[in-house]
Amino acid sequence: MKTKNAAAKGIIASFVNPTSSGKVEYFEKACLLWNTEGEITYFGDVPPLETLAGQSVLLRENFIVLPGLIDLHTHLPQYEFVAQGEHALLPWLEKYTYPQEARFRESRVAEEQSRNFFESCLSLGTTTVVAYLSPFFEAAAIAFEEATKAKIRAYMGPALMDRNVPPDLQTTVNQTEKDSLFLLEKYHKKKNTEFVVTPRFAITCSEELLALSGRLSQEYKTLLQTHISENVDEVHETLRLFPTASSYAGVYDRTGCLHERTLLGHGIHLSSEELRIIQERKSVLVHCPTSNSFLGSGIMPYRLFKEQGLSMGLGTDVAGGYSLSLFDEMRTMVEVSKLRSSLLKEESTVSVENALCQATLLNARAIGRDDLGSFAVGKKADFIVVDSSMANPLLNERKNNYDALSEKLQRIVYRSHPQMVNESFIAGEKVFAR
């Protein structure tokens, strides 16, 4: 259920606040205040009650407040078939993805599934989402309209493909430019939506379409999202299709698709030279651990890449990932890092705190949103109210002996429950409530 609460200008609760160090700050009881523009004006100890006179302050003392979660890589049209298929990437796309995306030619399908997708995001604590859409211009416009109604922060674009997919999913370079300019004009930086140039990946894009993508994203300063080196067969097929390219990353680099606003999904099988190029271009590698496991693609060396200074992100990658919950994604992120560490003794692991920081503050920075992802004066009041008792293995009337705020955070991530998020706020406005 969505509801408005424009009068609320503050909240008192327990808080977990991410920091750029990868650690978090714990506040057993604190107060967050914001102004009519949804900007934070105060965060800290609960002030004397007389100073709050005249302000509408929500009391959520048995709940935990976290920054709104930020998903940097997912696919709106694929949500319907989560958890389907046990194929590797390329056969899985043929069997499930392309037929499902073809259904979005119907306005009814595009409208119903877009609305469900955004409501699901908000119900799971995601207040900002970066999503691939179907390849159809009309369906993209519908998705933008539904995102605007939901008030979610949505960065999106139609998946661009002009070869190696069924003909009804293909576009042309000229049509892509025409449609992109329309969507840019109508939806880019309008309210909470932004247009993202979205070439699906090199296999489905001609060099001309990639070059147009690079030019549009740089000229209009948009994000560009695509996939890279998710699967070994994908890498081999890319190099076959681009025989003069130095590497997979080289394909994107020579077409202008690598820059500081580029989000590269997966990046599991990259050479040291490709990593150097990506780092020099300041592009972001988006870790999708659940999807990588589900499709048997491999394990991205997240910790190693981060220690090398690469810009990193985290995404659910539905429907390779089988949940839109970033809590689930954080858990998988931690667990696969332990697996890599056990196999490669020199590699350190990712903690729950590290994962939360990536899903909030660091993901915000990856898309140039320094005003999101943590609690500080001047930032936007994007936050979620979490009922940690939903993750408690004991009955409500029994005290859990492991009840420190840090221990509750562990349970929230490892025992995430689909009804755990009680409320979601964007710029101080309640956009979701149980």
- Give the CATH number, domain containing residue 55: 2.30.40.10
The pLDDT, as a whole number, for residue 5 is 41
Q: Which of 326, 348, 366 is the last residue of a domain?
A: 366
Are 199 and 292 within one domain?
Answer: yes
Are 339 and 245 within one domain?
Answer: yes
The pLDDT, as a whole number, for residue 6 is 43
* Residue-wise DSSP of 377-424: TTSB--EEEE-GGGG-SS-TTS--S--SHHHHHHHHHHT--TT-EEEE
- State pTM to two decimals: 0.96
What is the number of domains present in the chain?
2
- With respect to residue 127, please indicate whether it lies within any of the assigned structural domains: yes
Are 23 and 85 within one domain?
Answer: no
CATH code for position 234: 3.20.20.140
Are 136 and 258 within one domain?
Answer: yes
d(C-alpha 405, C-alpha 388), whole Å = 10
d(C-alpha 417, C-alpha 246), whole Å = 46
The pLDDT, as a whole number, for residue 54 is 73
The pLDDT, as a whole number, for residue 306 is 94
CA-based nearest residue to 134, from 164, 108, 114 = 114
* Helix, strand, or coil (residue 275): helix
85 burial via Cβ count (<10 Å: 0-12, 13-18, 19+): middle
Are 143 and 278 within one domain?
Answer: yes
Q: Which of 349, 366, 383 is the last residue of a domain?
A: 366
- With respect to residue 3, please indicate whether it lies within any of the assigned structural domains: no
The secondary element (H helix, E strand) that includes residue 272 is: helix 272-280
Are 325 and 395 within one domain?
Answer: no
* Residue-wise DSSP of 50-64: GGGTTSEEEEEEEEE
Are 205 and 313 within one domain?
Answer: yes
User: Is the bond preceding 319 in cis, omega lying within 30 degrees of 0?
Assistant: yes
Are 164 and 233 within one domain?
Answer: yes
Question: What φ, ψ does residue 281 adopt, rounded to 5°?
Answer: -80, -5
- With respect to residue 2, please indicate whether it lies within any of the assigned structural domains: no
- With respect to residue 1, please indicate whether it lies within any of the assigned structural domains: no
Q: Which of 310, 345, 366 is the last residue of a domain?
A: 366
d(C-alpha 413, C-alpha 330), whole Å = 7
* Helix, strand, or coil (residue 305): helix
d(C-alpha 391, C-alpha 410), whole Å = 10
Are 201 and 80 within one domain?
Answer: yes
- With respect to residue 251, please indicate whether it lies within any of the assigned structural domains: yes
The pLDDT, as a whole number, for residue 46 is 94
- With respect to residue 362, please indicate whether it lies within any of the assigned structural domains: yes
Q: Is the dihedral of CA 357, 360, 365, 371 positive or negative?
A: negative
The pLDDT, as a whole number, for residue 7 is 53
The pLDDT, as a whole number, for residue 51 is 79
pLDDT string in tens for the chain (434-residue length): 343 444 569 999 999 999 999 999 999 999 999 999 999 999 999 998 777 877 899 999 999 999 999 999 999 999 999 999 877 999 999 999 999 999 999 999 999 999 999 999 999 999 999 999 999 999 999 999 999 999 999 999 999 999 999 999 999 999 999 999 999 999 999 999 999 999 999 999 999 999 999 999 999 999 999 999 999 999 999 999 999 999 999 999 999 999 999 999 999 999 999 999 999 999 999 999 999 999 999 999 999 999 999 999 999 999 999 999 999 999 999 999 999 888 877 678 999 999 999 999 999 999 999 999 999 999 999 999 999 999 999 877 678 889 999 999 999 999 999 999 999 999 999 999 99
Are 138 and 263 within one domain?
Answer: yes
- With respect to residue 311, please indicate whether it lies within any of the assigned structural domains: yes
Are 165 and 36 within one domain?
Answer: no
- With respect to residue 259, please indicate whether it lies within any of the assigned structural domains: yes
Q: How far is CA 184 from the centre of its chain?
A: 21
d(C-alpha 230, C-alpha 249), whole Å = 12
What the block records as the tokens of 164 is 């190696």
Residue span of the structural domain in which 38 resides: 8-68+374-433
Are 353 and 410 within one domain?
Answer: no
Query: Could you tell me if 192 and 220 are in contact, meaning their C-beta atoms sit under 8 angstroms apart?
Result: no
